[in-house]
Chains A and B, each alone.
Chain A
């Protein structure tokens, strides 16, 4: 009896501890987003009114900024481009990265290590420098001013990123698990597909999400390789149309930020839920 009570009290205390710690994080993460949302719904007169309360909307919610974004710019075209580019570039990179990451984590060839290091080291050169020679390559490939120029170049930073991240996850999987399978006569590829991938799934999901976001937010290549409005990505398009010299269309810019991130977050959470929660549910007993 008494033991039960104590453990219940402990449970409550532990939960309270958890929430008390999570709340500041959530607040820190969410407040700027909240601020973007209300800025996107506020009229300009209130935005520029020094006497108004900055985190409220006092003179009525308006949708003009969204209407401007959707009606006066090619926002949906840009979103579509961003989506195609990100999905294709991330998927291609992921496949390469799984193979490369696994080889680096497990295989013991002489060349593997130095190749891996070389791949990573090219990653140390920032895109703000690489875009110049890459723009030549894009022209040689006959891809300039198309979304394919981005689909082809994005893997150059995605593959190193994903490979090394995945390698880390592959290494967390105890070697014995795999060795059992290998002893049972499974081939390397079979072991990878049947044993390693399912176990590394959280890492793969993670890697996909972050890789996707890197392409989604990429700016330098998207700016320099593509010129026509119809082929621009969301970030480049939005800033090009809504920041005009010293005039910022604050409401519409923030509306763009909200629309370009909210659907993605929902998909992400669904993903995370599906894999991470399923696994965590039983992992820790309260």
Chain B
């Protein structure tokens, strides 16, 4: 394949869609009518909307808590899986499952588990005497709804952390641990001084990915709450879809989904430099 053709393919599949996506956000493009360039007007417009400001707040709460939980629990789980365990395979299968089940379907199951009438979570809690009927209104109250979507995100994202970190642990040459053992480092010391530093490159990439995945999460909110109650669980992706595609205002939708783009791009840039320099 000639260089020119390869270049054409990259331009067609990557550069062109990317440039168009940026252009959408800078134009008054509607689904049915191509727009003209209007500069940053869309960004000003969305900032002027209370629903969008609420969405920014939601996104940071959602991503902040979910990524923190996934990082801590993921490393913890990876360390546990690294130990010799009986039923190792079953345990690994169990841990991997949430990532493998198609999200569009697994979130439906979670929706059913948080259903106002048939919630198995509430049923169990009520029968254990923890809460009084009818139990928490999971998807109808802002705090509960946010808890629910974060829970599902952690459930789904944890395997990614656990298994990638596990693979990182496995690639650390054994001698390093042995050296630490000889030095008499306890397990916490071993973790801090041997494991963590060596895992840094992997962790940095995994956290980076997870942050991006989490900020752009769509399915969970779309299936469970569609941004409700009263927009308290809307994320960038769900609001962008709602305004840009369902509503037809593609320009504003693009501005919403690209709102964090400069910030994320800066983070990516810094973090990637750091990883390469390390």
Contact = CB atoms under 8 A, between A and B. Distances in A.
Partners in one complex: yes
Interface of A: 14, 18-19, 21-22, 25-26, 28-30, 32-33, 35-36, 39, 47-48, 50, 53-55, 104-105, 113, 116-117, 119-126, 128-130, 132-134, 137, 140-141, 152-153, 155-156, 161, 164-165, 167-169, 171-174, 199-200, 202-203, 205-206, 209-210, 213, 216-217, 219, 234-235, 238-239, 248, 250, 253-254, 256-257, 260-261, 264-266, 268-269, 272-273, 275-277, 279-284, 286
A284 B84 contact: yes
Contacts of B54: none
B160 interface: yes
Q: Sort chain B's interface into a size bin.
A: 35 or more
B202 interface: yes
A62 B149 CA distance: 32
Describe B's contact surface by its main secondary structure: helix
Contact of B164 (A132, A171, A206): A206
A140 B16 CA distance: 12
- Interface centre among A117, A169, A272, A286, by most chain B C-beta atoms within 10 angstroms, is A272
Interface string B15-52: 11110111010000000000000000000000000000
Given A165-B205, A210-B99, A128 B237 contact: yes
B242 to A, nearest CB: 11
A34 B226 CA distance: 26
Interface of B: 12-18, 20-22, 24, 73, 76-77, 80-85, 88-89, 91-106, 108-110, 112-113, 117-118, 120, 123-124, 155, 158-160, 163-164, 166-168, 170-174, 177, 198-199, 201-206, 208-209, 212, 216, 218-219, 237, 240-241, 244-245, 250, 253-254, 257-258, 261, 264-265, 268-269, 272-273, 275-276, 278
Describe A's contact surface by its main secondary structure: helix
Given A32-B106, A265-B97, 11 more contacts: A29-B97, A32-B110, A126-B240, A164-B205, A202-B166, A210-B164, A219-B103, A268-B93, A276-B170, A279-B170, A286-B84
